[in-house]
Chain A
């Protein structure tokens, strides 16, 4: 490490064994802001494509989702006056979800029109779901691209957490206290999730706005559900917070960045078998 920056970030995504076996690409996607340009503002977006036979383009859906999330959050992050943070909070809560979903759907429409379903995709879908499966999707073609979305925006004045669907955001304080800024959605059980392709998806977003008063969390972890599904229960999963905090303190972000992919591969292989994407945002100021 050459500079002592305010925030550091390590993000990796691994393809799960189940997708390797079925010759499916990694359905997760991630994107983050360039902290070399602005170390005081961080944006991280992660998305989990559904990967089901109906959602055969969900890897594209998740890529588009993270691009749009970063685009929208960058505009919010450009707000530099502390007097405007109430405006930011209200706008994020009232407008951001509907505008983001609308834009995602426009991008999906564009992609779908420019890339009609191929014969290969049709055959694969029919084999897995039966004849007529594609016709059933014409009512809601967004299902083909369905994905979740989790994001964090950190500025000098506030932190904005946003989540649609499954996955986890954990915050870890200096003393190791680990908490969820967005509580788990009790409706999301047994691999059911809300999604960008859901009807009225904007209503399913959870937004949490936190003003930064003195010390923000020391570490924020954002991950797709392949990670938490690899643990027996929530409490066991939450321990990764203190584990990562210790490693980051002792070994630094570069070390974590170098090893994260291997660690996630191990977790997936021994756990859920699903794709796993995990991002760690570490505050390295004393």
Chain B
């Protein structure tokens, strides 16, 4: 393959002064090429810039990113600059992405089929990572689905192409973003990328992951026959319109082209749809106040994940949506269409968590602790009476269980409280009540 760097070529890291051997070409795009390299026996990745993108501004930006470090472990962050004796220009070295991580394109093309649980976990991690990124003074500036990878088994994410991130608006590496992910005001040339435009791009990416469709690609996009840049600028910049805009149906999804949008929009609960509607109505017009913030998305993703119900007949994941019952409808499985028996739920503060057979409660359900490496409770079956389900205490603190008749018990770690309507469990920092 025609490559800027050849296999077995040596590049050198600038700060740590180590040698890397180019092993294989991984891929390339409009900015540069990415290679697998060997750095003292460990596999890493190097991105090498095209001549027209290896600018002084980009290099200065990289210096800042390398010096300040990654927001969290979800970012494949630049670790050092690399140069080459035989080649002008430069690149940077970063951790290598493991093969278990797949792209959104793999999701679109159905090469992977993650559960909703995994997908929403990935969405949660994405929003949390953006919160970390912004809280440390960075903005991403070039989010698109080429930059996000996730493990379909468990939802763990990796965010790539972080070389265009900016710190505190001090640097301008010249990147505006990917048009269909860029905030309308950037497409129109009225603004530069930053944290508030990141919020728009984040909303687009979340919509893509959950609906496997772009929020502005409906009838208007279908009428663009080919790669027509002025038409695309109109679609994403001067006249953007949400495909499910409640006040204007002129850009609805087109059957045969945008089927995913129609299919998935019907599946999700009203609350998340309302948030997307806000993101792509107010959020289109009001960059400062109209966009959904990272913390709101994060909370919504957790709530969405907690609302998953598994169909007892076919096992398909569905979502608990109180508005369905309020409207007098039955819960029908989105796959087999049979009526779903909604399992008991537990309400803890403002959260309602459906208690499926495999539900786990995490520390954040009871307090402001977002550690997902441990659980505080897990749904479990009685060992001798399989019809009886309980909530096992997997924390290191005892609970206080209050039954509907007022009696109280202690539930030691590794013991269970019965999942019985009306039972109240005091977890220490919060109390939960079992609901029918």
Contact = CB atoms under 8 A, between A and B. Distances in A.
Given A72-B226, A89-B29, A98-B257, A213 B178 contact: no
Contacts of B256: 102
Q: How many residues of B sit at the interface, in one of the four size bands?
A: 20 to 34
Nearest to A76: B227
Contacts of A92: 227
A98 to B, nearest CB: 6
A84 B229 contact: yes
Given A87-B178, A102-B256, A213-B50, A171 B227 contact: no
Q: How many residues of A sit at the interface, in one of the four size bands?
A: 35 or more
A212 B29 CA distance: 10
A91 B144 contact: no
Nearest to A100: B226
B422 interface: no
Interface stretch (A122-130, A203-211, A254-262, A265-273): A203-211
Contacts of A244: none
Given A90-B146, A211-B50, A173 B257 contact: no
B179 interface: yes
A96 B228 CA distance: 12
B428 interface: no
Contact of A210 (B28, B144, B228): B28
Given A210-B28, A211-B29, A216-B2, A88 B227 contact: yes
Nearest to B221: A95
A177 to B, nearest CB: 9
B28 A86 contact: no
Contacts of A90: 144, 146, 178-180
B109 interface: yes
B228 A217 contact: no
Contacts of B52: 82
A84 B84 CA distance: 28
B1 interface: yes
A93 B105 contact: yes
A213 B144 CA distance: 24
20 contacts: A75-B226, A75-B228, A82-B52, A86-B29, A86-B31, A87-B178, A88-B227, A89-B30, A91-B232, A93-B105, A94-B180, A173-B2, A209-B29, A210-B28, A211-B28, A211-B29, A211-B30, A212-B2, A213-B50, A215-B2
Nearest first, the 7 A-B pairs at minimum CB distance are A86-B30, A75-B226, A203-B109, A85-B30, A91-B227, A76-B227, A75-B227
Interface of A: 71-72, 75-76, 79, 82, 84-96, 98-99, 102-103, 171, 173, 179, 181, 200, 203, 209-217
Interface of B: 1-2, 4, 28-31, 33, 50-52, 105, 108-110, 144, 146, 178-180, 225-229, 232, 256-257
